[in-house]
Amino acid sequence: MKEFSPIRKVPDLSSSLIESLDELYPKRFPDLDWEEREIWFKAGQRNVVDFLKQVYKEQNETIISSTKD
């Protein structure tokens, strides 16, 4: 069975995109005034940013390691 590799499914990402998304959807604790639904929504937004950061890291590690060989 093949393992899922997100770097094969996502177009090349730029550091400026990742930085912009990181600023727009920062890691933060929920505000006490937020409704439960809003907490889950914001957590989902941040989860996408974290996923894209990981994919960006993997894409760049793959590029660097493949040029060394």
In a domain, 42, yes or no: yes
In a domain, 33, yes or no: yes
pLDDT score at 61 = 84
In a domain, 56, yes or no: yes
pLDDT score at 2 = 52
What's the CA gap between 12 and 35, in Å, rounded?
Answer: 35
In a domain, 3, yes or no: no
Terminal CA-CA length for the chain: 27
pLDDT score at 29 = 93
In a domain, 54, yes or no: yes
In a domain, 25, yes or no: yes
CA gyration radius for the chain?
A: 15
pLDDT (tens, 9 = 90+) of the chain, 69 residues, equals 455 565 567 888 999 999 999 999 999 999 999 999 999 999 999 999 999 999 999 888 866 665 555
Domain tally, the chain:
1
What pTM, to 2 d.p., does this model score? 0.74
